Amino acid sequence: MGAYDVIIIGAGVVGSAVARELSRFCLDIAVLEKEPDVACGNSGRNTGMLHAGFTYTPGSLKAECAVEGNREFDQVAEELDVPFRRTGKLVVGFDEEDRRNILKFKEIGERNGVRGMKMIDKARLNQLDPNAGGEFAMYVPSSGILDPMQYTIALAENACANGVRFLFGRRVEGIRREEDGYLIHTCKGDVRTKWVINCAGMYASQISAMLGYPDYPVRGFKGEYYVLDKKAGKNMRIPIYPAPNEKGGFATHATPTIDGNVLVGPDSYITEGYEDYKVTREHMDGLYRDGRRMFKEMKPEYFIRNFAGIRWKIYDPKTGENKDFVLESDDSHPCTVNLAGIESPGVTCALPLARRAAAILREKENPRIDPSFSPYRKGIRRFSDMDQKEKKEAIAGNPDYGEVICRCEMVTRAEILQAIHNPLGVHTVTGIKNRTRATMGRCQGGYCETRITAMIQEELGIDERQVRYSKENSYMFTGKVR
C-alpha cells in the first residue's frame, strides 16, 4: 500500500496541471488515473482552442481563469515545448440579430479584460481569410490554437520529471476518511494520503460525493466533429466561429489545428452516457450542412476522420441553468480540494485553476519550495518540422531518423522509439499516436500501425497479446498474425 502527502484523482489537463504546480514543492505526490494514459477523456476530445474569455459571466471563476490562462500561454508553451500559435479568431455574422449578439459578447469580453476585440467589415474579413463565411465579424486577436493532448502530456511529463508519480489503471472505487488522512480504494489496491484533490473530470461529481461534498447534478453536452485533411487546412488561416446565441453558445464552427488539419464542429446535444463517444450519420450530415456556412472548402473529399467529445456541466435542477466551475475546500472536509464541473474552457483554465488549488494546500501546510524544480520540458523533436540541413544532421547523429515509419505525417523510427520509452511509461498505440502524430494522416494508420505495434512488442519484449490500442482491455491481437 502506497502512502503520499497528496493524491490527485484524474490525469486530464486539470489534474496534470495541478500535479505540475504542486511539484514545485517538497511533497510526495501521486496521480490516480483510471485509463492507461493522460488525456483519455474530454481533455483530448475538444477543439484545441486557447479561448479569449468573452462568453463567460463577468466575475465568474470561468471568466477569470480563461483570461488569466490566455495571457500567460506564450510563456507556458515555451516552457513545456508544446506547439502553439496565437492565430486570433473570427466570430462571423450574417444578419442584424447576429450583430446584436456579437456586440453583446464583445461588451462582456471587455468587462472580463479581453484585449483588442474589434468589429470588421466584409472587406477586412476577406483579407484575414477569404474562405470564411459571413458578412461581417468580430476579430479577437488573443485567441489561439494548440494540441490539447500534447499539452496535457507535457504538463504530466514535467510533473513526472519533478517527482510526481502517475499510477495508471487505478479507478477509484471508494474513499474513507481516517484520523490522519484518507484511505483511497482503487481497482488495484489501496493508497493512503493526507490530501486529496479531485480532478476527475466527467466523474468529478462521484468523487465529490465520496469526499463528502455534494454529488453535483451534471448533464452532458455532446458534440461531434469532422477532421479534414491537411489539403483543406491550406485554405484556412484562422478559426471561424458563428455568432453566439443569447446564452453564449456557439453552433458549428471551423478551426485549423496546430498541425495543419481542420476541425469542423462541434454540434451540441444532451447525452446521458458518460463515455458516449459514438458518432452518428444524422449529426455528421448536420455538421456538413452547417460547416459549409463557416468554411467554403468544407468538402467530402477532405474528410478523414470523426470523433465526439462531451462537456459535463453542473446545472441547477430548479432553473435548468448551467453553473460556474466549482473549486472548493472547507474545514468540514479537511485536506481536500474539490474541482467539479470543469468543462470548456478547461484547457485554457487548467494552470490558473491549478494555482488556486495549490494555494489552498500551501495555506494549510506551508510546504518547502523544491530548489531542484524545473518548469522546462523538452518534447520529441519532429522530423517533419526540420529543414533539410537539420534532417541530414539528425540522421547523421541517429540513423533511426532515416527510416520513416508513418509516411503521411513523416514520423521516423527515432520518434516512435522516443515515444515508446516516454517518461510516463505509456505503451498503447494511441499513446504513441498522441506523442508523434503517427497514424493521424490521410490513411489513418493503414500503412504504419502494424509497424508501430511490432516496435512496441519488440522494444518492450512483450507477447503480441499484451499490445493494447487505447483502453485497459483494448487488446490488438488474440494471437500471432502474419
Alpha-carbon gap, residue 116 to 467, rounded angstroms: 50
Core vs surface per residue 337-368: b (16+ CB within 10 A) or e = bbbbbbbbbbbbbbbbbbbbbbebbbeeeebe
Give the SS3 label for residue 459.
Answer: helix
Listed in sequence order, the residues at least 6 apart from 142 whose beta carbon sits closer than 8 Å to its beta carbon are 52, 70, 71, 86, 88, 114, 115, 116
- Cell 500551501 found at: 362
Q: Give the relative orientation of helices 449-460 and 413-420 as an angle to the nearest 10 degrees.
A: 50
Contact 7, 335 (CB under 8 A): no
- Catalytic residue, candidates 51, 253, 283, 427: 51
Angle at 204 between CA 201 and CA 209, to 5 degrees: 175
Q: Return the closest-CA partner of residue 194 out of 422, 8, 5.
A: 5
Q: How far apart are CA 354 and CA 351, in angstroms?
A: 5
SS (H, E, C) 265-277: CCCCEEECCCCCC
Q: In whole angstroms, what is the distance from residue 148 CA to residue 50 CA? A: 9
Do 227 and 37 meet the contact criterion of CB atoms below 8 Å apart? no
In 211-263, alpha helices (H) = 230-233
Task: Please give the grid coordinates belonging to residue 250.
Answer: 456557439
HSE on the CB side for 194, CA within 13 Å? Answer: 9
Active site residue 333: no
**Cα–Cα distance for residue pair 440/456, rounded to 1 Å:** 18
Catalytic residue ranges: 51
